[in-house]
């Protein structure tokens, strides 16, 4: 089921509503713009009209939450693979769900889950990707951002890139329950922009500072601290100067 719209509050919310109406999985919603798009931890995701890829996919898994460990990381790999097929090089991944070019953010992944008592787990996988941002947006937001147009040669082919993104993500979802994060862990490590760098993780009982050394088999971040290796399952990660 594919729905497109000029503007929606949130493509993730639109997919969730389609599922509630009983439409079969997968449900796919694309929009030219979102007025209430969400990033991590409820942050607003800026998506000016026609400037971003705003898309969400609804998928139902039968094995419960445990089979979904690392899914947001694997989705990042799928997005980078789509960008490579499109002809754009240089994209990397920052744990847990940011698409990066150098230190500038290109996009992100947002996964929302709902489990049922019978073991079904409904996933909404949202992708926000900057395509051609208006001038001055980075200054207004106060952080480094970039877009596909700036990192590619030739005119922006939005429909072609959108098709590649959906192809990679639907393949990922179809394979994930059987393969888990293990099938994507090596490639995620090759795209990791934090590995070997000093990081600080906040949002925990106490901040964790150390050298990022990759992720474990469940997709948790590994940080080598002065007192040993720390496994981080959730939190906010910032790169720090050594």
Helix locations, the chain, DSSP H: 11-20, 71-86, 137-141, 158-179, 182-191
Among candidate residues 41, 105, 140, 185, the one labeled active-site is 105
Task: Give catalytic status of residue 240 as yes or no.
Answer: yes
Name beta bridge partners: 56. Answer: 29, 126
Residue 40 annotated among the catalytic residues of the structure: yes
Catalytic residue among 40, 84, 195, 218: 40
Decide: residue 60, CB within 10 A, 0-12 exposed, 13-18 middle, 19+ buried: middle
DSSP state of 134: P
Q: Tell me which residues are annotated as active site.
A: 40, 105, 240
């Amino acid at each position: 089921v594919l729905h497109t719209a000029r503007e929606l509050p949130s493509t993730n919310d639109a997919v969730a509503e389609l599922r509630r109406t009983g439409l079969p999985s997968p449900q796919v919603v694309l929009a030219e713009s979102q007025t209430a798009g969400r990033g991590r931890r409820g942050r607003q995701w800026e998506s000016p009209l026609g400037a971003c890829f705003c898309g969400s996919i609804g998928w139902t898994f039968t094995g419960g939450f445990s089979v979904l460990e690392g899914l947001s990381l694997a989705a990042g790999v799928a997005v980078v693979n789509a960008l490579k097929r499109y002809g754009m090089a240089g994209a990397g991944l920052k744990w847990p769900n940011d698409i990066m070019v150098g230190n500038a953010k290109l996009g992100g992944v947002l996964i929302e889950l709902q489990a049922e008592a019978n073991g079904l787990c409904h996933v909404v996988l949202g992708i926000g990707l900057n395509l051609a941002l208006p001038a001055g947006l980075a200054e207004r937001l106060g952080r480094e951002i970039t877009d596909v147009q700036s990192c590619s040669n030739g005119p922006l082919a939005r429909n072609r890139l959108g098709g590649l993104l959906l192809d990679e993500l639907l393949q990922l979802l179809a394979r994930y329950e059987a393969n888990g994060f293990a099938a994507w862990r090596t490639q995620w490590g090759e795209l990791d922009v934090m590995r070997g760098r000093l990081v600080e993780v906040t949002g925990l009982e106490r901040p964790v500072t150390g050298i990022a050394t990759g992720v474990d088999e469940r997709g948790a971040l590994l940080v080598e601290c002065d007192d040993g290796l720390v496994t981080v399952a959730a939190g906010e990660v910032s790169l720090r100067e050594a």
